[in-house]
Amino acid sequence: MRAAATDTLAARSLAHVWHPCTQMKRHEAQPPVAIARAQGPWLYGSDGRRYLDAISSWWVNLFGHGHPHIKAALADQLERLDHVLLAGFTHAPVVELSERLGALTGLGHAFYGSDGAAATEIALKMSAHYWRNQGRPGKSRFVGLAGGYHGETVGALAVTDMALFREAYAPLVRLAATVPSPDARGAEPGESARDVARRAAAALEAWLAEHHAETAALIVEPLVQCACAMAMHDPEYLRLARALCTRYEVHLVVDEIAVGFGRTGSMFAHQQAGIRPDFICLSKGLTGGTLALSAVLTSDAVYAAFYDDEVARGFLHSHSYTGNPLACRAALATLELFDQLDALNTNRALAARIDAACAPLTGHPRVRHARRLGMIWAWDIADTRPDFARRYHQQALARGLLLRPIGNTLYAMPPYVLDDEAVHCLASGALAALEATLQEEAAA
């Protein structure tokens, strides 16, 4: 293997670290960027260069890196209690976090996992086990949306409709059914986003009418299917899906792992549809981007179905670090920041500033379907080469900007703490990187 310089962190990383979502051979040409420290929206490379983290380090970092309020809470918690098993024991951070999440969502029972895929697995297992406890073990299949993404463990892959991530593991996976996505970009001439939502809901209804007896749950990413290149849909779909799930006795699981915690403009995305799901999966922003933690929230009705003298009717899922006190404390500090910073309102003003700064990009002749919801921006780039995403990423890095398009969709999901300098870096860097990438394509 060729590496730029054998004594650098990047070269040592390539020798011993297997990086995620990466064909490692690609790093022969482009070594990974070594980051030494981070502050606010900025990452600082070991080489002294700085990068604007315009995708919140894979959508986890809400209030910038190293936020003093989260750091102080973690330092305090580390002095008190680092960890204790949650079976047979409890502690203040997990109790307070569960109370707060219950108050925010109306789903008052929280089960904790380590990451997003684990939350998906927990929700699916809990749903199927609920039906079994109700004397309906036949309800054990799942249905999700085309292009859905819910994580990449073997169980989560069942409801992740992404050929690239699933193909090699297909024999291991008990595939769920998929129904059409309400992606507003699928509008026929004359159709509105709401019409697309109604059409997709009609397809869901037809599917449920036939398969509800063997179906435990529908799982959806509310309002934005982020991994599916930021596919956005009208909240009407969630209202109709909720009504159909109730009518056909199928649980509604909303996966808020990417879109929760203010990302779409409301605290949780499904709240814009005014619905109450049966399960909510949370992770990513939950700890403000500091520690790995996920939670599945559910209703009194689901909880009651497991409450019994018989051990086997209980929910027996467990993992070693369930409800880790440090992670729960970081989550509490993150929730406190929403109040302290009046984050949802502050974000509305920030988003308007970013919109204005990005107007030249939005108006670029090669941009299609420019769209924004809350603090998520996306622009589809027409007529690009298949390796657009990789080359754009490099052009952006060269301009001190971390952006990673998905296919030909350029998107930004920045932390909620950009000052004017950072907004300018994002808007002008994104446009300059686009022009450079398109010029490179034209020259090739």
Shortest Å distance, C-beta 183 to ligand PLP? 15
Q: Which residue is nearest to ligand PLP (CB)?
A: 116
Shortest Å distance, C-beta 405 to ligand PLP? 16
**Please, which residue, 176 or 434, has the CB nearer to ligand PLP?**
176
Give the ranges where 28-110 is alpha helix by DSSP (H): 56-59, 68-80, 92-105
Shortest Å distance, C-beta 235 to ligand PLP? 17
CA distance from start to end of the chain: 27
Q: Are the C-beta atoms of 144 and 323 separated by less than 8 Å?
A: no
Residues 267 to 286 in contact with ligand PLP, rule: CB under 6 A: 283-284
Q: Any contact of residue 257 with ligand PLP (CB under 6 A)?
A: yes
**Please, which residue, 58 or 248, has the CB nearer to ligand PLP?**
58
Shortest Å distance, C-beta 145 to ligand PLP? 11
- Minimal CA–CA distance to 32: which of 402, 406, 292, 384? 402
Shortest Å distance, C-beta 32 to ligand PLP? 18
Q: Which stretch binds ligand PLP (CB under 6 A): 1-9, 139-147, 255-263, 420-428?
A: 255-263
Q: How far is it, in rounded angstroms, from Cα 109 to Cα 287?
A: 19
Residues 215 to 234 in contact with ligand PLP, rule: CB under 6 A: 221, 226-227
Q: Any contact of residue 139 with ligand PLP (CB under 6 A)?
A: no
**Please, which residue, 288 or 429, has the CB nearer to ligand PLP?**
288
**Binding test (CB under 6 A) with ligand PLP, winner from 93, 116, 277, 288:** 116
- 172-178: Cβ within 8 A, 24+ apart: 176/141, 176/142, 176/143, 176/144, 176/219, 177/141, 177/142, 177/143, 177/144, 177/207, 177/211, 177/215, 178/143, 178/144, 178/145, 178/146, 178/148
Identify the three-state secondary structure at position 153.
coil
Structure tokens at 402: 């971390």
Residues 76 to 105 in contact with ligand PLP, rule: CB under 6 A: none
- Minimal CA–CA distance to 266: which of 238, 301, 302? 238
Binding-site residue total for ligand PLP (CB under 6 A)?
15
Ramachandran region, residue 68 (left: φ > 0; alpha: ψ -120 to 50; beta: rest): alpha
Q: Any contact of residue 151 with ligand PLP (CB under 6 A)?
A: yes
Shortest Å distance, C-beta 82 to ligand PLP? 22
Element (H, E) at 377: strand 376-381
CA dihedral for 430, 435, 436, 437, sign (positive or negative): positive
Mask for 281-320, x = binds ligand PLP (CB under 6 A): --xx------------------------------------
Q: What is the DSSP string of 245-265?
A: HHHTT-EEEEE-TTTTTTTTS
CA 317 to chain centre: 23
Structure tokens at 140: 């054990």
Q: Any contact of residue 115 with ligand PLP (CB under 6 A)?
A: yes
**Binding test (CB under 6 A) with ligand PLP, winner from 14, 110, 117, 373:** 117
Q: Any contact of residue 142 with ligand PLP (CB under 6 A)?
A: no
Q: Any contact of residue 258 with ligand PLP (CB under 6 A)?
A: yes
Amino acid letter for position 88: G
Shortest Å distance, C-beta 63 to ligand PLP? 19
Site residues for ligand PLP per CB under 6 A: 115-117, 120, 149-151, 221, 226-227, 255, 257-258, 283-284
